């Protein structure tokens, strides 16, 4: 009877160790997949405004210089390595100032979704005419370059821009044929 009892105890301990190991590995795996991986981006140092209110709060993707210039004629796109990069643009709501800066504070990729958290800062504000006398509607545009090899366009891939201060999020899903659909 003692031998059987010892064998049962060993089996029970083995099962308990297996269960603890399985739970621990599951927690580690879940933590890794929940946080995703860091998304690499490059600040393009392109600062512009648009008065096209139809673009307000939208995300745009550009795969070549011609498309970028069609949307933003004042940008040359000459200094961009189009073979290696996709250019993303987030068009903000109306700006409270004529001069702005932005900072991408975090980039995460989780499966087929990439999220870029940003902060806008407006450098000077004129309360009487915050956008200048000649400007009626002006939307600042945030541009970043994302490495093409980090984006799997064989399946729908979604880019999200999230305001770090308000958590307001806007997204764009791109597909294999470099088409896109705003969400």
Q: 6 and 74: one domain?
A: no
- Same domain, yes or no: 13 and 75: no
Angle (CA) 149-153-159 rounded to 5° is 85
Whether residue 44 lies inside any domain: the answer is yes
pLDDT tens for each residue of 58-109:
898 898 889 988 988 888 877 888 888 888 888 887 665 556 677 788 888 8
Q: pLDDT per residue over 95-136, tens digit each?
A: 655 566 777 888 888 888 888 888 877 665 544 444 444 444
Q: Identify the band that residue 33 occupies on the pLDDT scale cut at 50, 70 and 90.
A: very low
User: Same structural domain for residues 151 and 83?
Assistant: yes
Q: How many angstroms separate the CA atoms of 140 and 16, rounded?
A: 58
- Domains contained in the chain, number: 2
Q: Give pTM, 2 decimals.
A: 0.65
- Residue with the two structure tokens 């269960």: 19
Query: Cβ neighbours of residue 140 under 8 Å, at least 6 residues apart?
Result: 47, 48, 49, 91, 92, 95, 100, 102, 120
The single-letter DSSP state of residue 51 is -
Pairing, β 37-38 against β 99-110: antiparallel
Q: State which residues form the domain around 15.
A: 1-33
């Amino acid at each position: 009877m003692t031998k059987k009892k010892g064998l049962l105890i060993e089996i029970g301990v083995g099962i308990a160790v297996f269960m603890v190991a399985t739970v621990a590995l599951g927690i580690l795996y879940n933590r890794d997949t929940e946080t995703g991986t860091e998304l690499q981006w490059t600040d393009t140092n392109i600062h512009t405004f648009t008065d096209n209110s139809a673009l307000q709060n939208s995300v745009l993707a550009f795969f070549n210089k011609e498309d970028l210039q069609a949307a933003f004629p004042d940008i040359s796109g000459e200094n961009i390595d189009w073979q290696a990069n996709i250019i993303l643009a987030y068009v903000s709501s109306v700006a409270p100032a004529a001069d702005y800066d932005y900072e991408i504070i975090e980039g995460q990729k989780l499966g087929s979704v990439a999220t870029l958290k940003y902060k806008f800062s407006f450098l000077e504000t004129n309360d009487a005419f915050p956008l200048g006398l000649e400007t009626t509607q002006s939307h600042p545009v945030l541009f970043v370059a994302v490495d093409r090899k980090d984006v799997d366009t064989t399946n729908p891939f979604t880019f999200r821009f999230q305001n770090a201060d308000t958590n307001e999020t806007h997204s764009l899903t791109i597909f294999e044929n470099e088409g896109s659909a705003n969400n």
